[in-house]
Amino acid sequence: MTVQNQIRKFIDERGISRYKLWQETKLGRDTAYRLCNDPTYIPTGNVLDKLCATYRVQPGEFLVWIPDDEQVPEGINVDLEAPVGD
């Protein structure tokens, strides 16, 4: 499989809207919304730093790696049909 971001799960569990994520993190709007809408979009180091600093969490809160030879652990949202580009 692949590395995927879990931003949507993170904000949903905390009741944070995409708009609020964008405003609180001061990320570019397109970046913030793409992180929420496209689990295959992996944030850069600078983006991860803004997310971690804003919400005071470790990067592992936002990313998950699922090897090809393992089943997806329960509670992990894997979207293999997610769009690759905008």
pLDDT in tens, 20-61: 999 999 999 999 999 999 999 999 999 999 999 999 999 999
Residue 6's nearest CA partner among 28, 36, 32, 33 is 36
Q: What is the pTM of this model?
A: 0.73
Q: Is the pLDDT of residue 69 over 80?
A: no
Domains and CATH numbers, the chain: 3-65 (1.10.260.40)
Contact (Cβ atoms closer than 8 angstroms) between residue 40 and residue 2: yes
Specify the pLDDT at position 66: 81
Q: Is the pLDDT of residue 73 over 90?
A: no
Specify the pLDDT at position 86: 40
Specify the pLDDT at position 62: 93
Residue 5 tokens, joined:
């971001």
Contact (Cβ atoms closer than 8 angstroms) between residue 8 and residue 64: no
Q: 40 CB contacts (<8 Å, ≥6 apart)?
A: 2, 4, 5, 79, 82, 83, 84
Burial 51-70 (b: 16+ CB within 10 A, else e): bbeebeeeeebbebeeeeee
Specify the pLDDT at position 79: 59
